[in-house]
Structure 1
Amino acid sequence: MRNVSVRCILICVVLSSLSCVRSDLELGFYDKSCPTAEKMIFGYVKRHVPNAPSLAAALLRMHFHDCFVRGCDGSVLINSTRKHQAEKSALPNQSLRGFDFLDRVKSLVEAECPGVVSCADIIALVARDSVVAIGGPYWNVPTGRRDGLISRSSEASKELPAPTFDFTALRSSFSSKGLNLKDLVVLSGAHTIGVSHCRSFSNRLYNFTGKGDEDPSLDSFYAADLRKNKCKTPKDTTTIVEMDPGSFRTFDLGYYKHLLQRRGLFRSDAALATDAATKSAIIQLVNSPMEVFFKEFGLSMEKMGRIEVKTGSAGEIRKNCAVINV
């Protein structure tokens, strides 16, 4: 009987200690510790992003790239050093931009509440607020994330889904992060406000199978137009192309309509229409009011924002988003 009691006490102690280490994200996490934080962040985004609307896509992409490597922990913001290559150095992240914008937001918040608001939370809030600022959907952003202490280029190269992925690879990548096919479809909708460099898809235009051919899944008229007016050579590394031609600054259903016309820019975009379930989901979105897409996108963004988060006493609250605290 005494042994049972001792075991019960030990279990209670262990559970109690775990509850101190881990806690859930929550809405209004900073209401007491930094009550003006979210308002300040939204105000800054609202003032500046409408003047540079392409930033919305960049900041949304930053959040995605952060969450897919070691979870949503701000590790994508850490600078490389002479001895260590951080996530920023990985090829998929070399085209990320908006780091200076996030640094300015962090400085603003630090001036008000030093050492309180994490860079990981700032990324998540800025991504949502920048989409709202250009007329896109609003979604809840529970906060309480802490910043990670590890950032490795090799992990970013391995974990981030590539624009060359087929459906099987995409499904596996998203599934490994706890995201289902519905999440895959609606989160891909972020491409409605994006742009890409030719190098990310030029093989679909010039050398898809290594024989100088184009990708047969790409609409031939669209491919010809891209070769003539945009990506004029296979080695073009500077030209940018709209992911959603005609409305790339508007958060709408245009991206999905292009997919159904076989005009998705990446192979990974086109792949969504090769599976019966995801193609059906695309058709359903296109035939539904815009509010349906907005709602579903918001739900999947909130879900993505919880991937492998660090809370409680894990990680740290970085003073400078680019540098781990000394």
Structure 2
Amino acid sequence: MGTLLRRVLLSLALLAAAAAPGAAAAAARLSTSYYSRSCPRAEQIVSDVVAAKQQANPSTAAGTLRLFFHDCFVSGCDASVLVSPLSSDRTPERAAEINLSLPGDAFDAVARAKAALEAACPGTVSCADILALAARDLVGILGGPRFPVPLGRRDARRSDARDVEGNLPRTNMSARAMTVLFARKGITPQEMVALAGAHTVGFSHCSEFAHRVYNYKGKGGGASGHDPSLNPEFARALQSSCAGYESNPDISIFNDIVTPREFDELYFKNLPRGLGLLASDAALWEYPPTKVFVQQYADNRTAFFQDFAKAMQKLGTVGVKTGRQGVVRRQCDILD
């Protein structure tokens, strides 16, 4: 690893460390045995509900992972993204432009788990904890790693769409910009790349990558009309599959076209082959401080699974509220 690359990684790691003390303190207040007396079957209830939901609607897992990330990165892992616009006197996070594509199956999975828990242990298990457990369980269902989830998060008392802008990565963001954004949340470049591996499942709408496929304006664009970093055959297939996306915004493509329903390392193997769907995916391979980790995970599934599990645990501590800092909402889509 070159000297310049080491310096970049060190500076980003220091920025992440500067943001981390609050996360460390919050993590210390969480516990895997938090509901051992108040609701001992909490984890099993969530697991059973989301497994049934995934079987009925296979897009649930990827959607729930995305929902968890969008919740944690805005105002912390506090279920504020779950609040419905119909139940709030202000515009909540869920109604922000970048959140409009969050899938209904994911919201429904959490709502079903909450209903089951309210029947078993009224007013006990927070929506924030349910979302963290659901994301973990659904990764396991798709063949990914299972890992302990410390619990004890409380739910937010507010949700405001104005908090969203600038806190979530955009699909056309550079890798450098993403590393800075993630560092502000206490997430290192390596942890960021591991979390990006969640794109091994799920799909993206054509509007999110159309600028790479039609009339590409960036460096190296030519008669082909597409981003030259895309595999040419893949680019032509995208041009064909996304034709008419402007009139039909629901047209979408799997993020990992090789094994779209399996949680594995193929996402990372795809990037050097020009099979990264989003510009932000491709950017991870083009930027040296993140490329090194893409290669590592492409070569070693075990390393990816181990680091993904650790990164998810860390993500789950971002901005958490405990004790009197929050509440346990009776319904996840309504502010109490």
TM-score when scaled to structure 1? Answer: 0.88
Q: Which residue is equivalent to 1:31?
A: 36
1:277 to 1:89, Cα distance in 2 relative to 1, 3 A: same
Q: Return 219-228 or 45-54, whichever deviates more.
A: 45-54
Q: CA deviation at 1:220?
A: 2.7
Q: Which residue is equivalent to 2:309?
A: 298
Which residue identity is paired with 2:133? L
The one of 190, 194, 210 equivalent to 2:198 is: 190
Q: Return 64-73 or 274-283, whichever deviates more.
A: 274-283
The one of 309, 315, 319 equivalent to 2:326 is: 315
In 2, Cα distance between equivalents of 1:264 and 1:172 = 21
Q: CA deviation at 1:240?
A: 1.0
Which residue identity is paired with 1:91? E
> Partner of 1:241: helix, strand, or coil?
strand
Q: CA deviation at 1:51?
A: 3.6
Q: CA deviation at 1:83?
A: 4.4
In 1, Cα distance between equivalents of 2:250 and 2:227 = 22
Q: CA deviation at 1:41?
A: 1.1
In 1, Cα distance between equivalents of 2:89 and 2:118 = 29
Q: Which residue is equivalent to 2:81?
A: 76
Q: CA deviation at 1:22?
A: 10
1:320 to 1:244, Cα distance in 2 relative to 1, 3 A: same
The one of 56, 59, 62 equivalent to 2:67 is: 62
1:1-326 aligned at under 5 Å gives the runs 24-81=29-86, 83-97=89-103, 98-209=106-217, 213-228=225-240, 230-233=241-244, 235=246, 236-288=248-300, 290-325=301-336
Q: CA deviation at 1:279?
A: 1.0
Q: CA deviation at 1:172?
A: 1.4
In 2, Cα distance between equivalents of 1:172 and 1:208 = 26
Which residue identity is paired with 2:184? S
Q: Which residue is equivalent to 2:12?
A: none
Q: CA deviation at 1:214?
A: 2.7
Q: CA deviation at 1:53?
A: 2.4
TM-score when scaled to structure 2? Answer: 0.86
Q: Return 79-88 or 151-160, whichever deviates more.
A: 79-88
Aligned residues: 303
Q: CA deviation at 1:119?
A: 0.4
Q: CA deviation at 1:208?
A: 3.5
User: Any stretches of 5+ residues in structure 2 without a counterpart?
Assistant: 1-25
CA-to-aligned-CA distance 1:240-260 (integer Å, 9 cap, x gap)? 101000311001111111111
Contact 1:53-1:134 at 8 Å conserved across structures: no
RMSD of equivalent CA atoms: 1.9
In 1, Cα distance between equivalents of 2:255 and 2:67 = 17
> Partner of 1:196: helix, strand, or coil?
strand
1:143 to 1:264, Cα distance in 2 relative to 1, 3 A: same
In 2, Cα distance between equivalents of 1:110 and 1:187 = 31
1:234 to 1:99, Cα distance in 2 relative to 1, 3 A: closer
Which residue identity is paired with 1:55? T
Q: Return 164-173 or 48-57, whichever deviates more.
A: 48-57
In 1, Cα distance between equivalents of 2:27 and 2:55 = 38
CA-to-aligned-CA distance 1:251-297 (integer Å, 9 cap, x gap)? 11111111111221111101101121311111111222x22211111
Contact 1:115-1:317 at 8 Å conserved across structures: yes
Which residue identity is paired with 2:46? I
CA-to-aligned-CA distance 1:89-148 (integer Å, 9 cap, x gap)? 112211112212211110100111111110000000011111112222112210000001
Contact 1:23-1:312 at 8 Å conserved across structures: no
> Partner of 2:253: helix, strand, or coil?
strand
In 2, Cα distance between equivalents of 1:192 and 1:226 = 18
User: Any stretches of 5+ residues in structure 1 without a counterpart?
Assistant: 1-20
